[in-house]
Amino acid sequence: MKTFKETYSLNAGIEDVYAALTNPVTIELWSGYPAVMELRPGSLFSLWEGDIEGMIIELQENKKIVQEWFFGEQEGRSLVTIILIRDFGKTQLTIEHNNIPDDAYDNITTGWSEYIIGAIEQFLNPNF
């Protein structure tokens, strides 16, 4: 099992970044895929037509998101913790994703950097 940790600086307000990570309508706009998500701890979510599924563990609006991601029959919890910090009109976003199965690590890290954070940045800054 592996851990991924990365900090990104997004040229967008913290409220917009939080919405892009938690609002299913906004997620569908930047991802192009159906998103099922309730902003309630204990609720299940599904993204990219079920490619990513899990449970909301903790939400602190515009500050912190904690999710458990499901990987089949995996033992142990794969937790994603996202910390958002306001930074002079930008947002510092730190992702820590632990207990990633070895065979999924490369796809997960590419997914975070390119397909999630990259897509959100493009969505929030279409002319940037």
Task: Give the tens place of pLDDT for each residue, 49-80.
Answer: 888 899 999 999 999 999 999 877 767 788 99
- pLDDT digit string, tens, across residues 1-26: 999 999 999 999 999 999 999 999 99
Q: What is the CATH number of the domain that holds 16?
A: 3.30.530.20
Where in the sequence is the domain holding 95, given as residue range(s)? Answer: 2-21+58-124
41 located within any domain: no
Number of H helices, E strands in the chain: 4, 7
Our count of domains for the chain comes to: 1
In percent, how much of the chain has pLDDT > 90?
81
Question: Cβ atoms within 10 A of the Cβ of 112, count?
Answer: 17
Determine the pLDDT at residue 50. 87
Give domain status of residue 68, yes or no. Answer: yes
Let me know: does 47 contact 26? Beta carbons within 8 Å: no
pLDDT tens, 95-112?
999 999 898 899 999 999
Q: Is residue 36 part of a domain?
A: no
Q: Label residue 30 by pLDDT band (50, 70, 90).
A: very high
State residue 76's pLDDT score: 75
CA atoms within 13 A on the CB side of 75: 1
Angle 24-31/14-22 helices, nearest 10 degrees? 90
Distance spanning both ends of the chain, measured CA to CA: 36
